[in-house]
Amino acid sequence: AALTGVVEYRNVTFAYPGAESPVLSNISFTARPGQTIAIIGSTGAGKTSLLSLLPRLYDPVEGQVLLDGVPVDKLDRAEITKRVALVPQRPYLFSGTIEHNLRFGKTEATDQELWDALRVAQGESFVREKKNGLGARISQGGTNVSGGQRQRLCIARALVTKPRVYLFDDSFSALDVATDARLRTALKGITRDATVIIVAQRISTITEADQILVLDNGRIVDRGTHEELLETSPTYQEIVES
Ligand code: DUT
Ligand code: MG
């Protein structure tokens, strides 16, 4: 069977409801299974807004977002949720156990699947260290775990759903460089056949991406691999040097 998980943005323009000017203009790109597409750009460039259109947190005002060739507004939300996992920039945990939080998207996951996801997300050891393990309580908003632990639990939650498409919104920024590197190596194995779109601040997180989109003021100003952009993109060079 053909691999699913093809994401296409076709001439997408987006403004927040009630706002006059668009925050995204004429965005076009395709991300295929097995590929990692990175999005980089300064704060306010529109990276989070861009990701939000695939799971339909918002809809574009012009153009189309397609999943496996079908415009997402023609798909059931449940179908989108099954195929696409978004790890949000501000990872959210709710009051309940670690297990509840990990099963949030997929209630029928086995404990083994939860531990497997935690292992990849580099969250296994801190959960094992807790007296109640998966049964350890998380307070509302996850205030009793660190920012990095919160990010790792939210990454594990996404892995548990075994989606075709992963959207990581700056998901590695609260991790130290070594943990970030270990996590991404482990992820590579898991996401080999999946489509990965990753927003990053740290250049080291994205140098191996198949394609990097440089977003500036809601537009894709340059695109290419790390090596190509170093040669051709002044905006990218600025980001690398900053
Ligand atoms: N914006 C809104 N309403 C919202 C969210 C964002 O008007 O609910 C604006 C703020 C900004 C633009 O949209 O001018 C793009 O914001 P976004 O959050 O997409 O930018 P980012 O690239 O993700 O910035 P950061 O690197 O700070 O996460
Ligand atoms: Mg953002």
Domain ranges of the chain: 7-92+163-241
Dihedral sign computed on CA atoms, order 201, 206, 207, 211 = negative
Report which ligand 1 atom has the smallest distance to the Cα of 49.
19
Residue 23 CA to residue 141 CA, distance in Å, equals 28
Rounded to the nearest angstrom, the distance between the alpha carbon of 9 and the centre of ligand 2 is 18
| Percentage of residues in the chain having pLDDT higher than 70 | 98
Nearest CA residue ID for atom 14, ligand 1:
44
What number is the average pLDDT over the span 42-53?
Answer: 96
Residue 230 CA to residue 70 CA, distance in Å, equals 35
ipTM for this model: 0.99
Rounded to the nearest angstrom, the distance between the alpha carbon of 162 and the centre of ligand 2 is 24
**Is the pLDDT confidence value at 1 over 60?**
no
| Residue 23 CB less than 6 A away from ligand 1 | yes
Q: What is the pLDDT of residue 3?
A: 66
| Residue 21 CB less than 6 A away from ligand 1 | no
| Percentage of residues in the chain having pLDDT higher than 90 | 77
**Is the pLDDT confidence value at 49 over 70?**
yes
Q: What is the pLDDT of residue 186?
A: 93
The domain at 7-92+163-241 falls in which architecture? 3-Layer(aba) Sandwich (3.40)
Q: Please give the sequence-ordered ranges of beta strands (E in DSSP) within the chain, or none if there are none.
A: 7-14, 24-31, 36-40, 62-67, 70-71, 84-87, 96-97, 137-138, 165-169, 195-199, 211-216, 219-224
User: With contact defined as beta carbons under 8 Å apart, do 4 and 46 qualify?
Assistant: no
